């Protein structure tokens, strides 16, 4: 018998009642936990489960994000490498003119045809297709089909490119001396004038002339404004400082070469509409003469009007007026020029094999254009030959690569003489 039970049996009734009341007061009337204790334990357990559930959901979400991110990063790297491979392969083809000519000669002789005079810079991306897609066509003929070969083509994603010649544009950085400035001004002014139009036929469009001068002054080394004689349209050194017009803009004239064509938007007088019109017709890279085989049609028209044998005929041939309401000679001549150029490109041949051939093109226009233009539309060949050639030095390569949902684009400009990139942009 336990001591507690013995005490309870021998103690008086009053004492037993007091002991029972004390035990009830301190919660010791039963050997197990009370209802209150069980409720607290359940509440703690539910709280712990809720916290663990939140942690589990967060961990699951973070894991899914990490998997998706790593998958996207993998696709992004793969797409970039595809685009980079396309650029490098195009550059390799452009720098391997002798090898390409040998391959083309081989296939031309096999087909019993004459070897086309192909410029590798213009058709380098056709060879890139052989790498990206396992196929290459030339003149509509499939030369290579390696689609079934595991060594050719891409198992995941795609790539490709397009190339163009930068030398077909007006170089606004060729302002090293007065002669170069004059040449740039004459072409640039004709380009701007044709976009906006002169106030009166035969009269100098002062607003466009000033804009052309501002473009030149931004890139030349001195801080003195260049002026022009309205009668002769010859450039002459001015007396004012270039930076005065930019004071209200909060910056100064650069007096150094343009880094990009977008910098032209900072030039005084350049509007958004004009910039959108000429952005594809000017360049800031190391080009010399304008490649007539790749020049935009507006640049070709500017050269035609600029190099007339008799500048006085420009009013009739190039400027719309009350006496000349129909199709202008320069527009009609440019249409025939573009037809000739397009037909030659379709057979993978340069439109003009030399600058002299281009000047001879105007001698043939008399057979397709009205006779009254025959004597008026004569070209000053020496001036035209000083402006144009038929070869390019700077090639623009725009390559793309895809992998999964990602597309990467690389724009690179390659100097074919040094085989160095002069511009590189990744998007």
Instruction: For the chain, give every domain's residue range.
Output: 71-168+395-426, 175-270
pLDDT of residue 126: 78
| Helix (H), strand (E) at residue 398 | strand 394-403
Dihedral of alpha carbons 242, 246, 252, 258, sign: negative
Residue 389 has pLDDT above 80, yes or no: yes
CATH code of the domain made up of 175-270 = 1.10.40
What beta strand segments (E) does 282-391 contain? 282-283, 290-291, 388-389
Q: Which residue has the higher pLDDT, 104 or 61?
A: 61
Span of 39-53, 103-117, 310-324 with lowest mean pLDDT:
103-117
Indicate the average pLDDT of the chain: 80
Residue 299, classified by CB atoms within 10 Å of its CB into exposed (0-12), middle (13-18) or buried (19+), is: buried
What does the buried/exposed string (b/e) look like for 401-413 if buried means 16 or more CB atoms within 10 Å of the residue's CB? Answer: bbbeebbbebebb
Cα separation, 386 vs 174, in Å, equals 14
Residue 382, classified by CB atoms within 10 Å of its CB into exposed (0-12), middle (13-18) or buried (19+), is: exposed
Query: What would the mean pLDDT of 408-425 be, rounded to a whole number?
Result: 90
Residue 305 has pLDDT above 50, yes or no: yes
Residue 151 has pLDDT above 60, yes or no: no
Residue 379 has pLDDT above 80, yes or no: yes
Query: What would the mean pLDDT of 227-237 be, rounded to a whole number?
Result: 86
Crossing angle for the helix pair 206-219 and 178-196, to the nearest 10 degrees: 140
Q: Hey, what are 161's tokens? A: 């490119």
Q: Find out whether 394 and 283 touch, Cβ atoms under 8 Å.
A: yes
Span of 1-15, 111-125, 197-211, 243-257 with lowest mean pLDDT:
1-15
3-state secondary structure of 227: strand
Q: Hey, what are 156's tokens? A: 């995941």
Cα separation, 39 vs 62, in Å, equals 35
Report pTM.
0.74
Q: How confident is the model at residue 258 (pLDDT cuts 50, 70, 90)?
A: very high
Residue 198 has pLDDT above 60, yes or no: no
Residue 231 has pLDDT above 60, yes or no: yes
Q: Which range has the top average pLDDT, 8-17, 53-62, 196-205?
A: 53-62
Alpha helices for 269-393 (secondary structure H): 272-278, 297-306, 314-317, 329-346, 355-361, 373-376, 381-387
CB-based contacts of 353: which residues, under 8 Å, 6+ apart? 117, 390
């Amino acid at each position: 018998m336990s001591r507690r039970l013995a005490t309870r049996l021998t103690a008086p009734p009053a004492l037993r009642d007091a002991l029972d009341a004390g035990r009830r007061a301190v919660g010791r009337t039963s050997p197990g936990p009370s209802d209150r204790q069980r409720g607290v334990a359940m509440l703690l357990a539910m709280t712990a489960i809720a916290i663990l559930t939140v942690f589990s959901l967060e961990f699951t979400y973070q894991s899914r994000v990490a998997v998706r991110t790593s998958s996207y990063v993998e696709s992004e790297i793969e797409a970039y490498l595809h685009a980079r491979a396309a650029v490098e392969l195009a550059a390799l083809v452009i720098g391997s003119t002798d090898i390409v000519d040998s391959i083309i000669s081989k296939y031309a002789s096999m087909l019993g045809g004459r070897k086309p005079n192909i410029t590798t810079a213009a058709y380098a991306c056709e060879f890139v297709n052989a790498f990206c897609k396992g196929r290459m066509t030339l003149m509509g003929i499939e030369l290579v089909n390696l689609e079934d070969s595991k060594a050719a083509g891409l198992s995941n994603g795609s790539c490709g490119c397009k190339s163009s010649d930068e030398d077909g544009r007006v170089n606004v950085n060729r302002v090293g001396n007065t002669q170069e400035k004059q040449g740039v001004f004459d072409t640039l002014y004709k380009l701007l004038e044709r976009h906006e139009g002169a106030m009166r036929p035969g009269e100098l469009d002062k607003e466009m002339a000033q804009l052309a001068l501002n473009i030149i002054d931004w890139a030349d080394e001195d801080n003195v404004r260049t002026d022009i004689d309205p009668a002769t349209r010859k450039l002459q050194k001015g007396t004012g400082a270039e930076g005065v017009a930019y004071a209200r803009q909060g910056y100064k004239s650069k007096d150094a070469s343009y880094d990009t064509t977008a910098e032209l938007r900072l030039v005084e007088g350049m509007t958004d509409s004009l910039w959108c019109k000429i952005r594809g017709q000017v360049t800031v890279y190391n080009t010399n003469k304008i490649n007539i085989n790749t020049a935009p049609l507006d640049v070709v028209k500017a050269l035609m009007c600029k190099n007339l044998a008799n500048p006085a005929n420009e009013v009739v041939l190039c400027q719309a007026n009350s006496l000349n309401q129909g199709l202008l000679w320069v527009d009609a001549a440019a249409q025939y020029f573009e037809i000739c150029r397009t037909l030659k490109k379709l057979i993978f041949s340069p439109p003009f094999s030399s600058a002299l051939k281009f000047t001879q093109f105007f001698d043939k226009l008399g057979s397709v254009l009205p006779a009254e233009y025959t004597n008026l539309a004569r070209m000053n060949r020496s001036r035209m030959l000083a402006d144009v050639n038929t070869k390019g030095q700077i090639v623009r390569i725009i390559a793309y690569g895809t992998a999964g949902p990602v597309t990467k684009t690389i724009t690179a400009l390659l100097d074919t003489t040094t085989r160095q990139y002069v511009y590189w942009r990744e998007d």
